[in-house]
């Protein structure tokens, strides 16, 4: 259960956080809504995926304790700058962290083709991936990842075993970048599902 129902409520009570925004006028937006000490290393992974080309939004929790107080669930996450970057993007990927012990990446959201492509790229690099997990489905239409131009996106839930290892974090970044390149190439060729959900 979240302590705050939206960002305005959080902002009125909390100050130990930092917002990172990079608007690169890209058709791709990568976000980490629970970065910093909330879900450790998710912001670093989001930055790896964004590289030097994609839009980036990260919310960094900076509290010494009780950082989960800063957690706003994905379908209620409404920071204005995050929404600004998301709503103008065709592709949106939200990076999260889960408490599962074994190394695994759960892929959810409404962009089924991008989900499958990311899953394939992760598996190729030796990162265990599970697509369309019921536990981390990310299919709520108000989920921040599904609020882009096409009303579909990807929710990437990473276990601590993946997030804690720098080499694996880099693999995740490489895999997602490769998947995005593949999907964008397909769209240019007319084979991507460009209709709105």
Full DSSP string of 47-76: HHHHTTTSEEEEEEE--SS-GGGG---GGG
Q: pLDDT truncated to tens, each residue of the chain (197 aa)?
A: 899 999 999 999 999 999 999 999 999 999 999 999 999 999 999 999 999 999 999 999 999 999 999 999 999 999 999 999 999 999 999 999 999 999 999 999 999 999 999 999 999 999 999 998 888 999 999 999 999 999 999 999 999 999 999 999 999 999 999 999 999 998 888 865 544 43
The β-bridge partners of 17 are: 61
- In this predicted structure, what is the pLDDT of residue 191? 64
Contact 72, 9 (CB under 8 A): no
Strand segments, DSSP code E, in the chain are 17-22, 28-36, 55-61, 91-98, 105-109, 129-131, 154-159
pLDDT at position 195 is 41
Query: 187 Cβ partners below 8 Å, 6+ apart?
Result: 194
Long-range contacts, stretch 6-9, CB < 8 angstroms, 24+ apart: 6/72, 6/76, 6/78, 7/72, 7/77, 7/78, 7/79, 7/80, 8/78
User: With b meaning 16 or more CB within 10 Å and e meaning fewer, what string describes 111-127?
Assistant: bebbbbbbbbbbeeeeb
Q: What domains are there in the chain, each with its CATH number?
A: 7-188 (3.40.630.100)
pLDDT for residue 196? 40
Quote the CA–CA distance of 30 and 43 in Å, as a whole number. Answer: 10
pTM, entire model: 0.94
With CA atoms as reference, report the closest residue to 94 among 28, 13, 165, 186.
28
φ, ψ dihedrals at 135, nearest 5°:
-70, -35
Distance, in Å, from the CA atom of 16 to the CA atom of 100, rounded to the nearest integer, reads 27
């Amino acid at each position: 259960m979240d302590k705050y129902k939206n960002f305005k409520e959080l902002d009125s009570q909390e100050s130990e956080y930092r917002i990172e925004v990079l608007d690169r006028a890209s058709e791709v937006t990568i976000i980490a809504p629970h970065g910093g000490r909330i879900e450790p290393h998710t912001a670093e992974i989001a930055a790896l995926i964004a590289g030097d080309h994609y839009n980036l939004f990260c919310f960094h929790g900076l509290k010494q304790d009780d950082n989960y107080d800063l957690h706003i669930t994905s379908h209620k996450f409404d920071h204005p700058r995050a929404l600004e970057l998301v709503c103008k993007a065709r592709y949106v990927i939200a990076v999260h962290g889960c408490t599962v012990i074994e190394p695994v990446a759960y892929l959810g959201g409404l962009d089924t083709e991008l989900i499958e492509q990311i899953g394939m790229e992760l598996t190729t690099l030796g990162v265990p991936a599970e697509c369309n997990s019921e536990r981390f489905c990310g299919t709520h239409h108000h989920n921040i990842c599904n609020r882009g131009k096409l009303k579909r996106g990807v929710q990437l839930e990473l276990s601590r075993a993946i997030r804690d290892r720098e080499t694996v974090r880099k693999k995740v970044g490489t895999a997602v970048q490769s998947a995005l390149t593949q999907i964008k190439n397909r769209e240019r060729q007319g084979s991507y599902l460009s209709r709105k959900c």
